Amino acid sequence: MRIGIAGAGLVGRLLAWRLARAGHAVSLFDADSKTGEQAAGTTAAAMISPFAELAVSEPEVFRLGMISLATYPQWMADLERDSGCSVMYRHNGSLAVAHAPDVSSLRHFQDLLLHRLPVEHAQAVQVLSGAEIDAYEPALAGRFCQGVLLAEEAQVDNAELFMALQAALTRLGVVWHEQTPVLSLQEQRLQTAAGWQTFDLVVDARGVGAKEAISVRGVRGEVLTVDAPEVTLQRPVRLMHPRYMLYVVPRANHRFIIGATELESEDKSSVTVRSALELLSALYSLHSGFSEANIVKWSVNLRPALPDNLPFVGWKAGVLTINGLYRHGYLLAPACVLQALSLWENPS
């Protein structure tokens, strides 16, 4: 089948890859270059956190997230084979902690989560004492007296994932139209500045760029990347606070992503002083070794969200549409791609 996909962000790339490796002739169109710097997916911390999200999201997000969590290991192995690139995928949980004055925020998070958690997953949420936190994360020794381990959560290095998908798509012969905005999509055809092109299937995966087709809004998020040679963390750490919930996500070579603000705004201008102060104070309060960290970059992007903050996978005027992955794109993308493939393959 000849398939045209608009949007080569997280979802567009993943879907193009799964279709290309199944033998389809895929054309991928993106307004951006192949590196995907405009995609929310390259700004994200890329935590795969069904449990932490359950405290603040609908049960459907958890359900889809668990499907993704089960899918990632096989897909990561497939991707390494197809691309020849290694992608850091870690499945050793995440940790939520709070400083002593903010312990009620941690308890509230824990209560919400346990209240919504299906009973069969209860063992994946473990309340930790200070000594247990120290054993899991020696770098935090003596700093926190209570925490919650979300033992089954995972994370992926999004920069490596985007690069590996790009390499795999090239090897699999996907025709990639970079810097080619799609102006309009209809059943079996899409329009760029060069005119209309026809396909057997057309997919809209443009995230916030699909406003004329679906009622998507952008939700601003700001993140900071630092190199901190003095700090070693084994897993993402969430710092609970009455006003914000921030996280520090470790990558290879003592690099850390710190995020994220969440603002109902479509402004993509650079990080504000207020957000910078919040992120930096939280970082410094987690570990004093971060005071000597080098700031690598500040990033801002928009999460694509629908009015109900839930993902949409379905047909819109004959176009297979995937959108609304909001703040959990890495958590939901494999499940949404599987759902899209199943919708297409089983039209009844």
Give the residues lining the site for ligand FAD (CB under 6 A).
6-12, 29-32, 36, 38-41, 43-47, 181-182, 205-207, 209, 221, 223, 259-260, 301, 303-304, 325-331
Token pair for 49: 């956190």
Angle at the Cα of 39 from the Cα atoms of 38 and 43, rounded to 5 degrees = 95
Nearer to ligand FAD, 146 or 304 (CB): 304
- Six token digits for residue 63: 């359900």
| Nearest residue (CB) to ligand FAD, 89 versus 330 | 330
Distance in Å, CB of 22 to ligand FAD, minimum:
20
Of 304, 12, 144, nearest in space to 4 by CA:
12
Q: Min. distance of Cβ 288 from ligand FAD in angstroms? A: 25
112, 113, 102, 150: which is closest to 128 by C-alpha? 150
CB of 33 to ligand FAD, least distance (A): 9
> What are the structure tokens assigned to 119, written together?
């009973």
Pick 39 or 283: Cβ nearer ligand FAD = 39
Instruction: Give the residue nearest to ligand FAD (CB).
Output: 9
Nearest-approach distance from CB 156 to ligand FAD, in angstroms: 9
What are the residues facing 154 on neighbouring strands? 48
Q: Are 175 and 28 in contact (CB under 8 A)?
A: yes
Cα separation values, 323 from 43, 308, 337, Å: 17, 12, 11
Please, where are the H alpha helices in 242-294?
A: 273-286
* Structure tokens, 28: 């991928």
CB of 8 to ligand FAD, least distance (A): 5
Task: Please say whether the beta carbons of 79 and 165 come within 8 A.
Answer: yes
CA distance linking residue 66 with residue 60, whole number of Å:
10
Rounded to whole angstroms, the Cα distance separating 96 from 147 reads 5
Nearest residue (CB) to ligand FAD, 28 versus 97: 28
Least separation in angstroms between CB 317 and ligand FAD:
16
Task: Measure the CA–CA gap between 278 and 243, rounded to whole angstroms.
Answer: 10
Q: Which is nearer to ligand FAD, 146 or 236 (CB)?
A: 236
Q: How far is the CB of 177 from ligand FAD (least distance, A)?
A: 9
Q: In angstroms, what is the minimal distance from the CB of 348 to ligand FAD?
A: 27
- Looking at the Cβ atoms of 146 and 255, the one nearer to ligand FAD is 255
Residue 72: alpha-carbon gap to chain centroid? 13
Nearer to ligand FAD, 148 or 210 (CB): 210
When the beta carbons of 170 and 291 are compared against ligand FAD, the nearer one is 170
Collapsed DSSP state (helix, strand, coil) of residue 207 = helix
Instruction: Measure the CA–CA gap between 110 and 329, rounded to whole angstroms.
Output: 23
d(CA 263, CA 260): 10
Instruction: List, in order, residues 6 or more apart from 239 with CB less than 8 Å away.
Output: 97, 98, 99, 245, 246, 247, 248, 282, 285, 286
Question: What's the min distance (Å) between Cβ of 276 and ligand FAD?
Answer: 14
CB nearer to ligand FAD: give 19 or 146: 19
Run of H or E including 145: none
